[in-house]
């Protein structure tokens, strides 16, 4: 089993990616199985403490 974490500039960037032809070709590739994508909220204050090198940009949803 493999996994990855990807950071997106904002929710719109994430939604454009999962709606893209690239993502569609990945999820329909027969050489991959049990592929899924999940999104998670960012805990801004905790991120500032644990990942001080990241800049959390908060936007309205």
**Span 4-57, pLDDT tens digits:** 888 888 888 889 999 999 999 988 998 888 888 888 888 888 988 998 888 777
| Tokens standing for residue 44 | 């801004």
What pLDDT, on the 0 to 100 scale, is given for residue 59? 64
Domain containing 17 equals 1-61
- Reply yes or no on whether the pLDDT at 61 is more than 60: no
Q: How confident is the model at residue 60 (pLDDT cuts 50, 70, 90)?
A: low
Three-state SS annotation for the chain: CCCCCCCCCCHHHHHHHHCCHHHHHHHCCCCCCCCCCCCCCCCHHHHHHHCCCCCCCCCCC
- Could you give the count of Cα atoms lying within 13 Å of 46 in the half-sphere of its Cβ? 3
Q: How many distinct structural domains can be found in the chain?
A: 1
């Amino acid at each position: 089993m493999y996994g990855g974490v990807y950071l997106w500039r904002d929710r719109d960037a994430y939604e454009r990616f999962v709606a893209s032809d690239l993502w569609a070709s990945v999820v329909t590739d027969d050489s991959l199985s049990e592929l899924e994508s999940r999104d998670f909220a960012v805990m801004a204050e905790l991120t500032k403490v644990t990942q001080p090198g990241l800049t959390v940009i908060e936007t309205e949803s």
